[in-house]
């Protein structure tokens, strides 16, 4: 059993076609930008987000859907745990790669 997360949460996944990390938005889309991530304040909101995320998984848009604790201090949103924060930024040892360059770094 996964440990129950308390506090604000966001949902991340990897896009099926290129594996890039993406974040579920309030509109039910997947964004490269962690700032666009919908933040669930409680279990009910998270269930609603997870339902959307899982249907995107069934629709073969994303894989590896994961709800994670969000850090919402100072009007920003980011995954709280370093592992998921890394997904929102890119490798710390390659500052020229990943979303730390720009959310649209590959375009």
Partner 1 sequence: MYAYDAYDHAIVNARVAEFRDQVERRMSGELTEEEFRPLRLMNGLYLQLHAYMLRVAIPYGTLSADQMRKLAHIARRYDKGYGHFTTRQNIQYNWPKLSETPDILQELADVEMHAIQTSGNVIRNVTTDQFAGATADEVADPRPYAELIRQWSSFHPEFSFLPRKFKIAITGAREDRAAIKWHDIGLVVKENDAGEIGFEVLAGGGMGRTPVIAKTVRDFLPVKDLLSYLEAMLRVYNEQGRRDNKYKARIKILVEAMGIEEYARQVEEEWVKIKHTPIDVPAEEVARIKAFFAPPPLAVLSEDVPEVDALADKNFIFKSWLHNNTGRHKVPGYVNVTISLKPHGGIPGDATDGQMDLVATLADTYSQSEIRVSHEQNLILPHVARKDLPLLWAELDAAGLGTPNAGLLTDIIACPGLDYCSLANTRSIPIAQTITERFDDMKRLMDIGPLKIKISGCINSCGHHHAGHIGILGVDRRGEENYQLLLGGSGAEDASKAAILGPGFDEHGIVDAVEKVVAVYLGEREDGEEFLAAYRRLGADVFKEAVYGTD
Write out the residues near partner 1 by the rule CB under 8 A: 14, 16-21, 57, 59-60, 63-64, 80-83, 86-87, 90-94, 97-98
Identity of the residue, 9 or 87, whose beta carbon is nearer to partner 1 in the bound complex = 87
Shortest reach from residue 78's CB to partner 1, in Å: 14
Identity of the residue, 4 or 44, whose beta carbon is nearer to partner 1 in the bound complex = 4
Identity of the residue, 26 or 95, whose beta carbon is nearer to partner 1 in the bound complex = 95
Distance CA 19, CA 13 (A): 9
Distance CA 79, CA 24 (A): 12
Distance CA 22, CA 106 (A): 14
Phi, psi (deg, nearest 5) at residue 87: -65, -30
Identity of the residue, 73 or 93, whose beta carbon is nearer to partner 1 in the bound complex = 93
Distance CA 21, CA 34 (A): 10
> Do the Cβ atoms of 94 and 86 come closer than 8 Å?
no
Shortest reach from residue 8's CB to partner 1, in Å: 15
- 91 Rama class: left (phi>0) / alpha (psi -120 to 50) / beta: beta
Shortest reach from residue 98's CB to partner 1, in Å: 6
Shortest reach from residue 25's CB to partner 1, in Å: 19
């Amino acid at each position: 059993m996964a440990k129950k997360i308390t506090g604000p949460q966001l949902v991340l996944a990897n896009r099926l076609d290129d594996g890039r990390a993406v974040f579920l938005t309030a509109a039910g889309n997947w964004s490269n930008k962690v700032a666009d991530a919908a933040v669930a304040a409680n279990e009910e909101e998270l269930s609603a987000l997870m339902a959307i995320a899982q249907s995107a998984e069934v629709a073969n848009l994303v894989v590896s859907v994961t709800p994670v604790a969000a850090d919402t201090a100072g009007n920003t949103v980011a995954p709280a745990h370093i592992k998921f924060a890394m997904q929102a930024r890119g490798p710390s040892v390659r500052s020229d790669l990943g979303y730390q360059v720009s959310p649209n770094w590959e375009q």
